[in-house]
Each structure stands twice: as C-alpha cells, then as structure tokens.
Amino acid sequence: MFKLLLIEDDASLFNEIKDRLSQWSYDVYGIKDFSNVMKDFTEVEPDLVIIDIQLPKFDGFHWCRMIRSHSNVPIIFLSSRDHPTDMVMSMQLGADDFIQKPFHFDVLIAKIQAILRRVYNYSAAQSKLKTWCGATVDYEKNTVVTDAGSIALTKNEIYILKLLIERKNQIVTRDEIINRLWDDKRFISDNTLTVNVNRLRKKLDEIGLGTRIETKVGQGYMATEEDSPYV
C-alpha cells in the first residue's frame, strides 16, 4: 500500500480527500504540527506528498523546499491559487504536478496513479546506471555524476532525461514527452513541460552538460553527445 502525506489545513477538505483516497487503498497521513511539517514527513516516509500553498506558519513553497533538500519523493501541489506564477514556482521548486482547486477527484486519482506508476514501476524495471557524455546517470538515485561534480534530479527531471538519452541524437516531440510523463495531456499545460526542461538544463549546467539538451523549435527536444548551443 502506498503512503501519501496530505499537507492540508482545511479539516473538512482533508477528511474528504482522505476518505476518497482510502477507497483506492492509499494510506493517507496528515500533519500534526504545521510549524514542523518535516517531523511528520520524516516519521511517515511517504511515497508521495500532496501539499497546499496556503498553510499556517509557513506556506507550501517553504515546505516543498525543505522536502526537496532531503528527498526526491513525488510532490503534487493542490491549491485554490490560480496565478501562473504559482504553477511556475511549484515546478521550479521541484514539484511533479499542480492541481487547481476546485478539482474533480477523478483527475486527482489519475495524476496520483500516473506518478506512482511512473516513479516506482520504471525504477524497479530499468537498469540503474547509464553512461552519457562521460557522466554516470543513476536512474534509481536520480543523480548525474561527472568529474565536475554531481547533481540530484527530481522524478520528472530524471524521467525526461531518460527519455532523451534513450533516443539521443533524435528529436523527441513535446507531445510524446507529455504523454509518457503525465499520461493524459488534457490535464497538463504546455508550459509545465517547458518549466521542467528548463530546470533540468539549469542543473545540468552546473556540471557542464546544459548544452547537451537541445530545443528543436516547434518540434521537441534532443539529447546529443556533441556540443551544440540550444535556444
């Protein structure tokens, strides 16, 4: 049974979400002290985190940063805030998805299932290590290591990189990445993929590999083993 940590301070909404997710055999935990969310996170060791932005004491962005500093566990933001910067901020901080309130429970369930299936099924089935551009890519630890250093990637970032490396020197379309990453692109804005790729590139820049991911305007992305500027 997968363990989900639901960081939501609205008691009625928390109970409603918990009841619905429990029907799908998910073990749902809440927060005892919103001033110390990391304590509950450490005790629960969840397989996925669902978090609101507006919370007591500190907002969801703060706790997303804290979680990401310790773990690559999948994170879904669930918020009534609808400004585009909120979605961009959540993705930049390493969240895997963003759902706006009010939402349909079928959408929430579909996204949870897609993320858990992608993260935990492919990790068990695939080889742990891959060599690319002189770097060691660890699909289980979500890291890329070179002589220049190492970086830690989120679940989305490592999956995007894996897709591109599998088809290196070939264009992988945006639609294909979205369909394979999020299962149903009807629930995903085109900007979500752009934010994830840009964040991946920024991390790869730290170890000298940012230019290895090229943008093919109007088509998609390509991983190359030859130096090439991207746009």
pLDDT band at 122 (very low <50, low <70, confident <90, very high): low
pLDDT, tens only, 8-26: 999 999 999 999 999 998 9
Report the 3 state secondary structure along the chain: CCEEEEECCCHHHHHHHHHHHHCCCCEEECCCCCCCHHHHHHHHCCCEEEECCCCCCCCHHHHHHHHHCCCCCCEEEEECCCCHHHHHHHHHCCCCEEEECCCCHHHHHHHHHHHHHHHHHHHHHCCCEEEECCEEEECCCCEEEECCEEEECCHHHHHHHHHHHHCCCCCEEHHHHHHHHHCCHHHCCHHHHHHHHHHHHHHHHCCCCHHHEEEECCCEEEECCCCCCCC
Q: Are residues 116 and 131 in the same domain?
A: no
Q: Are residues 39 and 113 in the same domain?
A: yes
pLDDT, tens only, 154-193: 888 998 999 999 889 999 998 888 887 765 454 456 688 8
Any domain includes 231: no
- Over residues 81-86, mean pLDDT: 83
Of 82, 97, 122, which one is at a domain's C-terminal end? 122
Q: Tell me, what CATH number does 183's domain have?
A: 1.10.10.10
Residue-level pLDDT at 186? 46
Any domain includes 229: no
Q: Are residues 116 and 21 in the same domain?
A: yes
| pLDDT of 197 over the 60 cut | yes
Of 122, 149, 173, which one is at a domain's C-terminal end? 122
Of 68, 91, 122, which one is at a domain's C-terminal end? 122
| pLDDT of 3 over the 90 cut | yes
| pLDDT of 117 over the 90 cut | no
Residue-level pLDDT at 49? 97
CA–CA separation, 225 and 223 (whole Å): 7
pLDDT, tens only, 150-160: 999 988 899 89
Between 35 and 117, the more confident residue is 35
Length of the chain: 231
- Over residues 116-137, mean pLDDT: 76
Structural domain that includes position 31: 3-122
Amino acid, single-letter form, for residue 196 = N
Domain count of the chain? 2
- Over residues 132-147, mean pLDDT: 90
Q: Tell me, what CATH number does 35's domain have?
A: 3.40.50.2300
Residue-level pLDDT at 4? 97
Q: Are residues 138 and 215 in the same domain?
A: yes
pLDDT band at 82 (very low <50, low <70, confident <90, very high): confident
For the whole model, what pTM was predicted?
0.61
% residues pLDDT > 90 (the chain) = 55
Q: Are residues 35 and 130 in the same domain?
A: no
CA–CA separation, 12 and 129 (whole Å): 45
Residue-level pLDDT at 120? 78
Residue-level pLDDT at 128? 75
pLDDT, tens only, 39-74: 999 999 999 999 999 999 899 999 999 999 888 899
